[in-house]
Every structure is written in structure tokens, then in C-alpha cells.
């Protein structure tokens, strides 16, 4: 009887795990089909996966996008790139190539360059990568915290499964985005602590 109960429990666990995995897969599939487009800060920042020329035109018309930041980088040999650049030019939208990798840590210098650009760029801004889950998530987090001045906790939410991001140490290559964000948080906290110590020393 005990063995029978254990088999039943094991079977139930396997079925439940499979159901969860299937549900997660279906959700990620939906994000890809839908373009994974989201408002981050209405009127300021939006994020998405790779938009078609038609999608981009619709985003510009609906949300008034003024700047497109392409996180996939400069790829004139690709049709998607040529279509995106042509549509941006035709709509009078600023188009910037800022290539980063979802599987490599973002250097502090590049993060600073990106933040500086986003502060001065015409808004609203659309940032996109291929899937809209990883690179777009890190850049959205940077904007939320370092441009919009919202909390680190709020910013961190941009790197979540809600957007299709899976950051698991040793298992997910995209964990590099989480690691990059943690490094940014650590630098910010050190800078705040150092500034507080300088103020205290002057008293």
C-alpha cells in the first residue's frame, strides 16, 4: 500500500510539473507571437521584441515613439534591420544601434553610455532586442532606476518571467543580464555609501 501511494504521489508530481512547464512554454510562445510589447513608463519608455516594419509603424502612430534603440546591433545584411531603418527614417524617428549580448555581462562603461543617451534622447523611446525578454529587460531596468529615478526593486521587476526572462544561475545564459543588474546595484550602493561618508566627515 505504501509503495502504491508513493507511485501515485510521484505520478501526480510529474503530471503537475509537466503542466507547469507546458503552461510556461505556452506563455513564452504567446509573448513571441504578440511581439512582447509593453509600456514601461507611459509617454517615456516602451520595450518589445523585434518589431516588423508594420509593428513599428503602429507603435509610432499609437504611442508617438520618437526614438528606437536597437539592442541587436548593426546588421545591414539582414532584412529585418533594413526594414526597421527604412521605416524609422520614413517616419522621422531617431534610430540608434546599441548592440549588447544577452549572454555576456554588460560592461559598466557601456551601461553608463546607454543611460546618458537615454536621458537626452527624444522621447518616447522604444528599446527592443530579438525576443524582448533579456536585453530589453536590463535596459528597461536601467532606465527605470537611473533615468526615471524609481527604486531598484521596481527596476528589477523588468527582469522577470512576466516578460519572458528566465535568469537561473548556471542554467540560463541570459542570467548574464541579472548579473549585470546586480553589479549595477552594487556600484550604486557603494557610491551612495561613499557620498554619505564624505558628508559625515565634513560635519
Q: Under a CB-based contact definition with an 8 Å cutoff, are residues 114 and 139 in contact? A: yes
The Cα 29–Cα 83 span in angstroms is 24
Q: Under a CB-based contact definition with an 8 Å cutoff, are residues 121 and 67 in contact? A: yes
The Cα 203–Cα 189 span in angstroms is 22
Q: Under a CB-based contact definition with an 8 Å cutoff, are residues 123 and 40 in contact? A: no
Give the model confidence (pLDDT) of 104-145 as tens digits: 999 999 999 999 999 999 999 999 999 999 999 999 999 999
User: End-to-end CA distance of the chain, in Å?
Assistant: 75
The Cα 119–Cα 115 span in angstroms is 6
Q: Which of 3-17, 63-77, 116-130 has the lowest mean pLDDT?
A: 3-17
Statement: the pTM of the whole predicted model exceeds 0.85: no
At 170, the pLDDT band (50, 70, 90 cuts) reads confident
Amino acid at each position: 500500500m505504501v509503495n502504491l501511494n508513493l507511485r501515485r504521489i510521484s505520478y501526480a508530481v510529474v503530471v503537475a510539473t509537466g503542466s507547469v512547464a507546458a503552461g510556461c512554454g505556452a506563455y513564452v510562445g504567446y509573448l513571441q507571437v504578440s511581439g512582447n510589447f509593453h509600456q514601461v513608463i507611459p509617454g517615456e519608455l516602451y520595450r518589445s521584441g523585434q518589431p516588423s516594419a508594420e509593428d513599428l509603424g503602429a507603435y509610432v502612430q499609437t504611442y508617438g515613439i520618437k526614438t528606437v534603440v536597437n539592442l541587436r546591433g548593426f546588421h545591414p545584411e539582414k532584412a529585418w534591420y533594413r526594414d526597421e531603418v527604412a521605416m524609422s527614417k520614413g517616419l522621422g524617428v531617431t534610430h540608434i544601434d546599441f548592440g549588447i549580448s544577452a549572454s555576456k555581462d554588460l560592461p559598466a562603461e557601456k551601461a553608463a553610455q546607454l543611460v546618458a543617451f537615454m536621458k537626452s534622447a527624444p522621447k518616447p523611446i522604444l528599446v527592443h532586442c530579438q525576443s524582448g525578454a533579456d536585453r530589453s529587460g536590463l535596459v528597461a531596468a536601467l532606465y527605470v532606476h537611473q533615468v526615471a529615478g524609481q527604486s531598484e526593486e521596481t527596476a528589477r521587476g523588468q527582469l522577470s518571467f512576466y516578460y519572458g526572462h528566465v535568469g537561473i544561475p548556471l542554467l540560463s545564459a541570459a542570467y548574464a543580464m541579472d548579473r549585470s543588474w546586480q553589479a549595477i546595484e552594487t556600484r550604486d550602493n557603494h557610491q551612495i555609501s561613499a557620498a554619505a561618508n564624505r558628508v559625515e566627515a565634513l560635519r
